[in-house]
Chains A and B, each alone.
Chain A
Amino acid sequence: MSRVFGLGELFFIVAALRWTLALTLVAFLGGGVGGFIVAMMRVSRSRAVRIVAGIYITLLQGTPLLMQLFLAFYGLAVLTGLRLDAWPAVAMAFTLYAAAFLGDIWRGTIEAIPATQWEGAAALALPRWRIMRHVILPQAARIAIPPTVGFLVQLIKNTSVAAIVGFVELTRAGQLMVNVTYQPMLVYPLVAALYFVVCWPISYAASRLEAQLDRRGSRI
């Protein structure tokens, strides 16, 4: 007996959006902190530190997110010896994933700041960390905003992969409703539309921000 797709089913799917957003938020905030550390390591004066951060980025950007999720899921179970809930494993995997991508994006923006800025600040006898904090980072932050916002869209879309390991978010909720209503033609386009409603304004904002930055040109 299949259920009819009614208001309850619709509500179930829309309500699952909050798990997609919660996961995105956790990964974005955690990944922001981690990404900052990775970016700082990538521009460090120590070669060893740069290489370690570089390997981290290559590993996470060179392997599928789905594999990272499986490894986090089963890896945590192996390490702790108990079957964990999906939520901590998924949150951890997405945080590490976001840290690698944000770290790489921010490294790029830090390196985009002309060397003369470093030299000028050094000539003023500022210590290295104060140059970073007061001269480099404020300028890098401005050019980092559009790609960071753009990555947020990728992150929201990629949380759908968590559905495969059974984490109930928007996509998984859609699957569950298809299983009981047999209405894939109704449910999946609805799920896609919900993602679109969330992602499109952010994509639009990212491209506007980028155009704004382009217009200002080199006057950073």
Chain B
Amino acid sequence: MATLWMSAAAFALGMGVAIGCVLARASRFRLLRVAVRGYIEVIRNTPLLVQLFIIYFSLPQLGIRMDADTAAVLGLALNFGSYAAEILRSGIEAVPSGQIEAATALGLSKLRIFRHVVLFPAIRVSYPGLAAQFILILLGSSVVSAISAEDLTSIVNSLQSTTFRSFEFYFAATLIYLFMAVAARLLLDAVYWLGFRRGRA
């Protein structure tokens, strides 16, 4: 299913973006910090649909072209990345500074401290927030049909325009989305219980 594939790709890329953002915000360079903050604020305060339009319709004017599916995944990833960065940041702020000091005292390198002491516990704390955001992206991805990317919605659009049975097709598509959202929710909860709750004990 194109929708699932797209959301999963956006999730993976977006997590990369988010981790990059979190690192950049802790950087010594003020310019980098300001730039990342600007990126997060701009994405969070503008609609996903307009972001997709800019990537797919505006960028070609600057000579940056890509097909609709790539643009859709990129847009979703950038969107998810900014939200995930904020969720991760609050998770990182929840890591007690004593833990970092203890790790420093053990002579761990900065990278290893970040990986083992800061990032993984932060992801664990942020997991419920990230999971909720993933569901939002899964449902929000239905707007990529507006830039002619191939997803569930666009398939239904073309079906209904050839058969004129609009209501029935949209109703069926809505049920499929509902099923995906509920299934994803259960799956993510199961992962949380198996992976994190047990790991903590």
Contacts and interface: CB of A to CB of B under 8 A. Distances in A.
Interface in B33-88: 41-42, 44-51, 53-54, 57-62
B49 A71 contact: no
A64 B181 CA distance: 10
Contact of A195 (B45, B140, B143, B153): B45
A36 B67 CA distance: 44
Interface string A46-81: 000000000000110011111110110011011000
A138 interface: no
A184 interface: yes
Contacts, number: 116
A163 B49 contact: yes
7 smallest beta-carbon distances between A and B, as pairs: A160-B47, A64-B142, A199-B45, A185-B61, A184-B57, A62-B181, A157-B47
26 contacts: A62-B139, A63-B139, A64-B174, A65-B139, A66-B145, A67-B142, A67-B170, A67-B173, A67-B177, A68-B174, A70-B166, A71-B174, A160-B48, A161-B49, A171-B49, A184-B61, A185-B58, A185-B61, A188-B50, A189-B58, A191-B53, A192-B46, A192-B54, A195-B46, A196-B46, A203-B45
Interface of A: 58-59, 62-68, 70-71, 74-75, 77-78, 153, 157-158, 160-161, 163-164, 171, 174-175, 178, 183-185, 187-189, 191-192, 195-196, 199-200, 203
